[in-house]
A and B are shown apart, each in its own frame.
Chain A
Amino acid sequence: MTLWGTPVTLDYNHRAVSETPQALLDPFREYGDVVWLPKLNRWLVLSQPAAMETLRNSSLQVLKRRDMALRLEDQVGLNLAALSSVLNWIPFSHDGARHSDLREAFGRLLTSITADYLKAYEDVSSELLEKMRVAEQGDFATGYADRLHLEIVGRFIGVPPSERQKLACHTALDGFILNNASVREIRDANTQLAAILETVHALISSGQSSPFLEKVGDALRQTGLEDTPTSRSECIVALIVLGDDTQAGALTVGLASMLDACDGALCLDAADNGLPKGQSLVDEVLRIASPVKNSARYATEDTMICGHAIAKGENVTLSFQAANFDPKAFPCPHMLKDGRRGHVAFGGARHLCTAMPLVRKTLAITFRHLATIGRIEARPGRQLAACLTVHRYEHLPIRIVPEP
């Protein structure tokens, strides 16, 4: 396979790219916006315009991950019931009618809970940051970013505080998404999801009601989906899975990138800190974080991306990390700069993340809170999660120095 007369001879290794994405992705750009990876037998989408074309192209469909899980179950004789039942509620695992239903249901749900979610976010964010401020240090990943979404959903559905961490699904995400995972990882993901489903289902079946549970039921019924304890449980677990790692990724990679931009000492309330302000900062952090690293598609018919012919049946990997660091779309892409537009951190077109408005508001809250606690300094021990799906730090130690 050649592109523009030049053979693509570079090797693409998922795990290596996952660890140091930009250094390993940049050499591929010399071959074009879209390159063919012979060993992986798939196309790699690198540029921002090609990413937008891919997202808008209805001939390029998402992988049917639930069908994949069911096939795997059949081939190796495993019980993956929890995994396939939650995958049935993940919008980016579907196209067509099911996808439309899920978009509508999650859209209705998120609209109805936004005010309550933001209020709870303000409270939980303040509580968690106050603990770090008093201690003058902490791990921003484990002490804050990992906990926000679980605390909020846990409060909404009535999970006791001591048990909210049981809702965490960090270690399972690659297995859950079936992203180059081994059967062992997939089996572990299923076990973890089964436990979370059981916790949520037990609460719902106990007859305990809450405004949040009623809103879940309303969203399901108004969309024309079945409203039962099981469907509510699966929908809520999908909400947990969808928000948990991605929010942690945006927050941890976001703070790390701001610290790096300020030579390791950040005063978010300082007018002269060199960072973009307001919504520009939120969007730049999201662009650089690219919490979801990539997304897979396959061609349902012969089609084109940026002039490249994609044959029916061929696979396409859209690298959000590459597109959001496209130097033609975002000059000096490693820098946080004002006035940039067009990042694809939330996907796009029919698979644009339904939670985008909510996520942008929550990041703005976090930045506002961080601006009030003092100077934030980086400490040694920063560690990226070994996750192929989501870009996040699993440890991000910081020091908080009170401002005079």
Chain B
Amino acid sequence: MTTIDLTALALDRLAAYLKRPVTPADLDRRYDELGVDSVDMVSLAFEVEEALGQPVSPEIFLEFESIREALAAIASGRGNEIG
């Protein structure tokens, strides 16, 4: 799955978690600005894991300042290096 596919998945799921529209620009915002918390990160890691068919640690999101950076790292194969 490419970064673009993961981006579409993240936009869809974050909109559901946050119960409001989420734009591509939101993926560059800091987590606290975006309004997501640890439960959202755990959920998103699971959705990405299911889509990729390989383990993704929620801690990958703590390694980066924004969801876009974390998704790029996951797409490049770093998703299960942590933990």
Contact = CB atoms under 8 A, between A and B. Distances in A.
Contact of B42 (A15, A40, A41, A183): A183
Interface in B26-71: 31-32, 38-40, 42-43, 45-47, 49, 55-59, 62-63, 65
B39 A14 contact: no
A184 B45 CA distance: 10
Interface string B1-45: 000000000000100110000000000000110000011101101
A131 B39 CA distance: 45
Contacts of B56: 182
Given A39-B62, A75-B16, A75-B17, A182 B42 contact: yes
A39 B59 contact: no
Nearest to B63: A39
Nearest to B59: A180
Main secondary structure on chain A at its contact with chain B?
A: helix
Interface residues of A, number: 17
Contacts of A76: 43, 46-47
Contacts of B47: 76
Contacts of A181: 42, 58
A368 B69 CA distance: 56
Which of B13, B47, B83 has the most CB atoms of chain A within a 10 A radius of its CB?
B83
Contact of A40 (B13, B16, B62, B83): B62
A76 B38 CA distance: 14
Which range holds the interface residue count of chain B?
20 to 34
B59 A186 contact: no
A71 interface: yes
A72 interface: yes
A178 interface: yes
Contacts of B43: 72, 75-76, 183
A14 B47 CA distance: 23
A183 B49 contact: yes
A356 interface: no
B81 to A, nearest CB: 11
B82 A15 contact: yes
Which of A68, A180, A181 has the most CB atoms of chain B within a 10 A radius of its CB?
A180
Contacts of B57: 182
B42 A72 contact: yes
B59 A75 contact: no
Contacts of B42: 72, 178, 181-183, 186
Nearest to A179: B38
A209 B23 CA distance: 59
Contacts of B82: 15
Nearest to A296: B38
A14 B63 CA distance: 11
A39 B49 CA distance: 23
A41 B65 CA distance: 10
13 contacts: A39-B63, A41-B31, A68-B38, A72-B39, A75-B17, A75-B39, A75-B40, A180-B38, A180-B59, A182-B57, A183-B49, A184-B46, A184-B55
